[in-house]
Chain A
Amino acid sequence: MSSDGPMLEVSEMAFSYSDEGTLKNIDFEIMPGEFVALMGPNGSGKTTMMRCINKINKPSGGTIKIDSEDIMELSMGEIARICTTVPADTAVDFSLSVRDYVALGRSPFIKTIWWEDEKDEELVNDAMWRMGIAHYANRRLHELSSGERARVLLAKGLVQTPKVILVDEPSAHLDIKFKVQIMEILRNLSRQGLTVLIASHDINLLTRFCDRILLLSKGHILKYGTPEEVVTEESIQEVFDIRVKVVVEEGTVYVLPTGSTRFGVDGPLN
């Protein structure tokens, strides 16, 4: 149990999976309570990286430590107790109520065969209240809007009482208000001490809310630092292969795509 060291420590990590989704020389640290973004184009290895951190993928080299513990030494259950993964959305819900769904987050902790105890119940109720979904607790998941469902997914992550929370594309299908809302929630959680790692394509939201940005390109880390350091016209152009304009407005970095992919002009379609 260290409180001063990094919460997440990845060193010399490599992963290969039949040429695609390879990662190499991955080295970075995230301090407790930091809100860090994984940025990079499709196929740059964002999801692969997250799946290495929660041990779904087994890295071919290097080490990953969560709170100073090597994840290879931990069981899936032990990892689930310190690190939670919030999926993009859940398609199937099998007529579960919102409460039932959130309560599933307690699974790694439940010792009895079947039922949650009072402490579990308290955590579930608390998480639903904090995420503003307590009103819908008895409704079924598919009866909620996308924005509400995103908060249900977060609530399920919170009842896992994690130290690290991995969020994969939380806002892909949300409207602009709910995109901002999710980012605000995640930033508040990080200010309360949770370490948050988010993968997303919303560059402008990441630059506005995250403490640090990890820019991935073709399976390796191109840059890791504050939004101002990482998000420059050169780096974005290099990684995403499109011309952009970067403006700084009241201390926040914004990226405007001004270039063209010239698809249909230089290449196919005609």
Chain B
Amino acid sequence: MVDDALKLQEEVMGKVVGVKTIRRRARAIVILGLLSVLLLYIYSLTMGIYPVSFTEALDQLVVIFQTGGDPDSMSGIVILHQRMPRSLAVIAVGAGLAVAGAVMQALIHNPLVDPYVTGVSSGASFGVMLVTLSGLVTTSFATLWLVPVAGIIGALVAFTVTMVVAEAAGGKAMSYVLGGTIIGLGLSAGTTLIMSFSADKMHSVTAWMFGSFANIEWSEALIVVLFVFCILFVILAFARNLNMMLLGEDQARYLGLDSRKFKRNMLMLVAVMSAFCVCFCGVIGFVGLIVPHLCRMVVGGDNRVLLPTSAIIGSVVLLIADVFCRSFTVGELPIGAIISVIGVPFFIYLMVKEGKRYVI
């Protein structure tokens, strides 16, 4: 009898997906994901007006690394100075926005939340609009920096105002959503109003708002990559605490986590990371909202698996969209729109397939 009971217990426990399996899965996802990001990265170097084949791109990469950044051919120069920094920025922004979205959804317990919900994107747009209309930005190199700097400042100011309002209103997660939404609405209205008075300069601002990686150079790419990945790794280190936050602020405190402080710090990290994502390449939607859902449907809600997966899928999705944008010879398409066109059908498919199982 006792033996039978033990056997049954062993049999049942054997089927439990334990920490070893989870770790193995996470490792497999990360390795496969990094490989596919690398392959897509090399493939993306072949895309654009100047034709380069895949093997040529590989050869040129080797030359670039061997010579320390001194390619000898036209294709090498195009790859080194235009395509490498651009695709690198795409990877960082994709990863950053997707992780930012996953963190926001975990903190705020709301499926419709994205990284921009705390006013980041509207603030950035407002800043960019102001600096563009001020006439300070000319074609000279020095003034081109004004746009991203204005974007970051606008984003951070908007987030700070949101935080002050939300904390004054009790500091609940929903206070952040409401505060950020209303401040975002105000800033967007301000942007629209001011722009309607200066229709001639509207185009350059709207182009920024649509999002584009066309003008990314090495210095910009490195800034984005450095900041986004640094913050990303900090956030990843707190993945287990984010899991506790899934239970709600009270229950997280029962487990010994100072949930209010943790939430505030995480929101700040996410805001800064999102600000760096939008500052050079504009407001890119979809990735921050949909990629985390997509990944959660497939790998579940454990942030230790979800966050790395989101980072990888975010990079992959944005790389594919950017490659698609570049493959048209008539001119660049707005990446924000392209990504939604590609992503929406796929998301609907998953939503229908996983619908019953998926709750957020």
Contacts and interface: CB of A to CB of B under 8 A. Distances in A.
A103 B297 CA distance: 20
A107 B244 contact: yes
Contacts of B256: 75-81, 107-108
Given A97-B300, A104-B247, A107-B244, A138 B257 contact: no
A80 B251 CA distance: 11
A87 B250 contact: yes
Given A76-B256, A113-B240, A97 B248 contact: no
B253 A76 contact: yes
Contact of A94 (B237, B240, B246, B251): B246
A115 B23 CA distance: 8
B16 interface: yes
Interface stretch (B137-145, B195-203, B352-360): B352-360
Nearest to A78: B256
Given A94-B360, A107-B240, A115-B19, A80 B255 contact: yes
A246 interface: no
A92 B246 contact: yes
A140 B248 contact: no
Nearest to A83: B254
A90 B255 CA distance: 14
A80 B259 CA distance: 13
B253 A140 contact: no
B4 to A, nearest CB: 15
Given A93-B359, A99-B17, A114 B257 contact: no
Nearest to A79: B256
A80 B250 CA distance: 12
Contacts of B304: 114-115
A158 to B, nearest CB: 14
Interface string B3-42: 0000001001101111110110000000000000000000
Interface size for chain B: under 10, 10 to 19, 20 to 34, or 35 or more residues?
A: 35 or more
B19 A125 contact: no
Contacts of B301: 93-96, 100
B16 A96 contact: no
B13 A95 contact: no
A190 interface: no
A100 B106 CA distance: 15
B16 A134 contact: yes
Nearest to B258: A76
Contacts of A105: 255
A140 B17 CA distance: 12
Contacts of A99: 16-18
A56 interface: yes
A205 B251 CA distance: 26
B250 A93 contact: no
B247 to A, nearest CB: 6
A16 B278 CA distance: 47
A110 interface: yes
Interface in B212-264: 237, 239-240, 243-244, 246-248, 250-251, 253-258
A228 interface: no
Nearest to B299: A95
A47 to B, nearest CB: 11
A84 interface: yes
A78 B302 CA distance: 25
A138 B17 contact: yes
B240 A121 contact: no
A217 interface: no
B19 A104 contact: no
Contacts of A96: 243, 246, 300-302
A97 B243 CA distance: 12
Given A80-B255, A93-B246, A142-B359, A137 B17 contact: yes
A107 B303 CA distance: 14
Contacts of A115: 19, 22-23, 304
A105 B258 CA distance: 15
Given A90-B251, A113-B237, A129 B13 contact: yes
B17 to A, nearest CB: 5
Contacts of A107: 240, 243-244, 255-257
Interface in A112-164: 113-116, 120-121, 125, 128-129, 134-135, 137-138, 140, 142-143, 160
A161 to B, nearest CB: 13
A207 to B, nearest CB: 28
Contacts of A110: 240
A138 B254 contact: no
A54 interface: yes
Contacts of B358: 95
A96 B20 CA distance: 17
A48 interface: no
21 contacts: A76-B257, A79-B256, A80-B254, A85-B251, A92-B109, A92-B246, A92-B360, A94-B296, A95-B359, A99-B16, A104-B244, A104-B247, A107-B255, A114-B239, A121-B18, A128-B16, A134-B9, A134-B13, A134-B16, A137-B15, A142-B359
Interface of A: 54, 56, 75-81, 84-85, 87, 90-97, 99-100, 103-105, 107-108, 110, 113-116, 120-121, 125, 128-129, 134-135, 137-138, 140, 142-143, 160
Given A92-B360, A94-B109, A107-B243, 9 more contacts: A79-B256, A94-B359, A96-B301, A96-B302, A100-B301, A104-B244, A128-B16, A129-B9, A138-B17
